[in-house]
Amino acid sequence: MIKGVLFDMDGVLVDSESFISRAAIIMFSELDIMVTPEDFHPFVGTGENMYIGGVAAKYGLDLDIIKAKARVYKIYAEIAEGNLNPLPGAHEFISRCRSKNLKLALATSADKVKMEINLREIKLSPDLFESIVTGEDVVNKKPFPDIYIKAAQNLGLKPSECLVVEDAVSGIKAGKSAGSRCLAVTTSFAASSLGEADWICGSLADAPEEALLW
C-alpha cells in the first residue's frame, strides 16, 4: 500500500533544463570550449558532477568540477531569477498527495544550492517535504538507487511503500532498483524511453489517479 511519494525535482516540479544547460554552455565558453544543449542530454538526471563532468570528458577537458559547478550555479541563479516556472500540475499534485495523508520527500541529484534556487523561484516551500535528499547526501547518484532508498528511510518507510516521480531514464532506473513503483512524466524523454515506469503521463496535471491508489 502506498504511504509516501518521492519526488525528483528538475523536469518533474520545475522546467529548469534549458536554464542549467545555458549556464553550463556559458561556463564552457569562458574556457573556450563550444558545447551544445544536446551534449548534456545523456546526463540529464544524474547530478551536476556528471552533467558538467560528462560533457567535459567528451571534449577532453580536464575540469576542476568544484570550481566549474560554482561558476555554473552563479550563472544559473542570475538567469533563472524571475524566469523559472513550476511544471503543469506540480503544486496541485503535491496537494493531492497531501490530501491522501501521504508522506513526501524530495530526492534530487542536484546540489543543495540549485535545489534552493529552484524551490524559491517556483514558490514551493521546503516545509512541504518531510525529507529532502540532494546529490550531496549520497555517494552513488542515479541510476543507482541510493537516493531513493535514503529518502524512503528518512520517511520511516520501505521503498516498496513509495511512489517515485521522475522524468529521466536514469531516475526511473534508480526508483525501480530501489523497489519503488514509478510515475514518469515525459518532460525530458519520450514515453518510449520510459517504459520501465509503472505509469507515464505528459505532466503531473495529467497524472493518473491509479498512481496514488495502490
What confidence tens digit (pLDDT) does each residue in 98-150 have? 999 999 999 999 999 999 999 999 999 999 999 999 999 999 999 999 999 99
What integer is the mean pLDDT of 37-59? 92
**Boundary-marking domain end, from 32, 57, 80:** 80
Residues 118 and 195 in one domain: yes
pLDDT at 47 over 90: no
8 tagged catalytic: yes
- Helix ranges, the chain (H): 17-30, 37-40, 48-58, 65-80, 90-99, 112-121, 146-154, 169-178
Q: Pick the last residue of a domain from 80, 97, 113.
A: 80
Give the containing element (helix H, strand E) for 132: strand 131-133
Indicate whether 168 pLDDT > 90: yes
What is the spatial distance between Cα 169 and Cα 195, in angstroms, rounded to a whole number?
9
- The verdict on 11 and 32 lying in the same domain is no
Do 146 and 96 reside in the same domain of the chain? Answer: yes
**Full-model pTM:** 0.90
Mean pLDDT, range 23-31, rounded to an integer? 97
Q: Beta strand 199-201 with 181-185: parallel, antiparallel or unpaired?
A: parallel
Say which CATH number the domain at 171 has: 3.40.50.1000
State the total domains in the chain: 2
Same domain, 128 and 202: yes
167 catalytic? Reply is no
Q: Are residues 112 and 185 in the same domain?
A: yes
Same domain, 104 and 162: yes
Shared-domain flag, residues 192 and 101: yes
Shared domain check, 75 and 64: yes
Whether residues 63 and 159 share a domain: the answer is no
Residue 45 has pLDDT above 90, yes or no: no
Mean per-residue pLDDT over the chain, rounded: 96
Are 21 and 105 found together in one domain? no
What was the pLDDT predicted at 9? 96
> Are 46 and 61 members of one domain?
yes
The reply to whether 109 and 185 lie within a common domain is: yes
Domain interval for residue 40: 17-80
Listed residues 39, 58, 80: the one ending a domain: 80
Q: Report, as an integer, the average pLDDT of 72-82.
A: 96
**The pLDDT value given to residue 46:** 85
pLDDT at 67: 97
* 213's grid cell: 491508489
